[in-house]
Amino acid sequence: MGIMDGEGFSLPVVASVEVVDVVITFTDSAKAAMRAEFQGDEDSRVLVISAQSGGCSGYLYDMKIIEEPDDDLFQKLDVDGMTVLIHNKDSALLSGITIDFKDSLMGGGFQIENPNADRACGCGQSFG
């Protein structure tokens, strides 16, 4: 593409990242729900909790159970034998959160209370 063939482009912009030691509190109901989601794969899979752009308030929570990524920038937490990973770049946003699970047809699922958030959107999936 000709427009991109010229000079003057910068190196990749590096976002300023504060790295902190992550502490996360899981309620008993959250641990039980996580255990059910792991389906007995606690030894081979991990839960990654992350934050990304988006949502009404600026950042969006994401939780995925996956095979352990080959990335040494994760902090590892052991939660009753289940491994939880938080990427260093998300550590300042997510340290101190409390994860709960509500078993409800309306608005149920994992609920995150985040002391780092100035605001959260109505559905609870976004913070800023």
Binding site for another protein (CB under 8 A): 1-17, 48, 50-60, 62, 69, 71, 73, 87, 89-90, 119, 121-122, 125-126, 128
Closer residue to another protein in complex, CB, 26/127: 127
CB of 76 to another protein, least distance (A): 14
Least separation, in Å, of the C-beta of 46 and another protein?
Answer: 13
d(CA 20, CA 89): 9
User: What is the end-to-end Cα distance of the chain in Å, rounded?
Assistant: 37
**Which lies closer to another protein via its Cβ, residue 11 or residue 106?**
11
Number of C-beta neighbours around residue 116 at 10 A? 15
Nearer to another protein, 56 or 79 (CB): 56
Tell the smallest beta-carbon distance from residue 85 to another protein (Å).
Answer: 9
Q: How far apart are CA 52 and CA 67, in angstroms?
A: 20
CA dihedral for 80, 82, 83, 85, sign (positive or negative): negative
CB of residue 109 to another protein, shortest distance in Å? 16
27 in Cβ contact with 40 (< 8 Å): no
